[in-house]
Chains A and B, each alone.
Chain A
Amino acid sequence: MSLVKINIGPVHPSTHGLLRLVVTLDGDTIVNVEPHVGFLHRGVEKLAENRMYMQIPPFIEKCDYVAKTAMDEAYVATVEAAMGIEPNERAQYERVILLELQRIASHLLWLGAMLNDLGHFFSVFMWTFADRDKVLKLLEEATGQRMFYVNMRLGGLRQEFPKDFEYHVLDVLAYLEKRINEYESFIENSSLFKERMYKVGVLSRDDAINLGVSGPVLRASGVNFDVRKDKPYYVYKKLNFKPIVLYNGDNFSRYKVRILEIKESIRLIREAFKQMPDGNATGMPIKLINPAPKNKVVRVSREGPRGEIMFYLVADEQRPYRLAMRTPAFINLAALNHIAKGNKFANLFPIIGSLDLVMADVDK
């Protein structure tokens, strides 16, 4: 039995970014997968030590170019915890609305990219991108930027929601609900999809906890842990948030968890708009900040679309002394070796697709 090493190089036609995999094959079975990463490493943790607190969000946002608001908000929440500032209630509702919109946009991109990996010829990719564009238009209306919205300020947002934003959002949500149902029935009625995703890439519950994965990958293996429920922040308690847990741990469960999460996000946004009080959600402008940290060492966890984002901040007067980030795709990719062992080679790319990796997350 001779082992063959194949190099799936850093540039490939799927939409993953720069990921190099060295796969050791025994015939058609995978023996070992070793990801070589680091092509997108920019040294964000070191850069943050040299900049003032509110100069850092642009770096953090570029660490996950698909779901930017999640990283931005996690960082700003860490700084707020260090300074002892708490956003008022309307600001909390508005932040939740932006976060959930971002989650929908990120999951739509994941859906297109995963079907591309399976061999589909870009059709669902095009459709989900058109839908994601509608959500991005909403975010552009709220923040003024299409791509990197550095929108969070200490204590709130950069600006209030514009007038009639609520009606635009509810229109797009009604349209998205129908489209998600269409995608679900279109994809799940195809027996080709089912036979490639059922029982492929199984991750058992104990392994999932031991490996430290998070997000939909963890919840698809039967572990009922979601940062929004277990360490609730903002107004998720008032919105009656329930996490979505499936018990099979295969590719299909990971796919289904994310689809159901989109539906749950739609419901959360509608509830948030109904419950939102009046007030002003604008936070502190950057120039007026004279930070004096009350708590020297802070640790804040948030739930991003890919998993748990955690920031650990050792605060100094004007600059962070040490900013440590735990990004979700980093540890999800480390679990790839364990999941893909023993599978056939043709199953490798569906497994990568279902883990929802964004390389900038991995490389920080």
Chain B
Amino acid sequence: MIIDRKDLIDTISSFKKKGFSYLVKILGIDYIDYISVLYILRNLDSDEEIEIEVHLNQNDLWVPTIINIFKGADWYERELYEMFGIEIKGRKVRKLLLEKFSENIYPLRKSFKWGTK
């Protein structure tokens, strides 16, 4: 389901209350006009999974942090930040996998071509 960014925290909390208490992954996909961030939640009792999608414009890249709802979102959000350049509002994130001293390089965006530095 596709929702707006401002409803994100409320939607995720309500799903968690309904039983979707396991966060599977947070991932980002770069379609050229927009970047979409997917939150995949799973219900351990009924084995359903649900994907919550948020579309972000290229000049307005930020999402609120959901670390207060799911503690496991920590490293996923850090990876999102360093691979796509999406800011996480609400806490300070540091890079996880890449070198700590490279600025403004976000590898998983489509605009990052092979062979560039």
Contacts and interface: CB of A to CB of B under 8 A. Distances in A.
Contact of A37 (B30, B73, B96): B96
A312 interface: yes
Contact of A335 (B21, B72, B96, B97): B72
B24 A326 contact: yes
Given A207-B71, A209-B44, A212-B23, 8 more contacts: A38-B99, A46-B107, A50-B114, A210-B21, A212-B70, A212-B71, A299-B51, A321-B29
Contacts, number: 68
Interface residue tally on A, bucketed by range: 20 to 34
Interface string A86-124: 000000000000000000000000000000000000000
Interface residues of B, number: 29
Contacts of A43: 107
B21 A331 contact: no
A56 interface: no
Given A314-B29, A326-B25, A331-B75, A230 B47 contact: yes
A342 to B, nearest CB: 16
B44 to A, nearest CB: 5
Interface of A: 37-38, 41, 43, 45-46, 50, 207, 209-213, 223, 225, 230-231, 299, 301, 308, 310, 312, 314, 321-322, 324, 326, 330-331, 334-335, 338, 363-364
B74 interface: yes
Contacts of B21: 209-210
B105 to A, nearest CB: 12
A301 B22 CA distance: 14
Given A212-B72, A334-B72, A310 B96 contact: no
B93 interface: no
Interface of B: 21-25, 27, 29-30, 38, 40, 44, 47, 49, 51, 70-75, 83, 96-99, 107-108, 112, 114
A187 B29 CA distance: 47
Contacts of B22: 209, 212, 225
Contacts of B75: 330-331, 334
Closest 8 interchain pairs by CB?
A212-B72, A38-B97, A334-B75, A211-B72, A324-B27, A326-B25, A41-B97, A230-B47
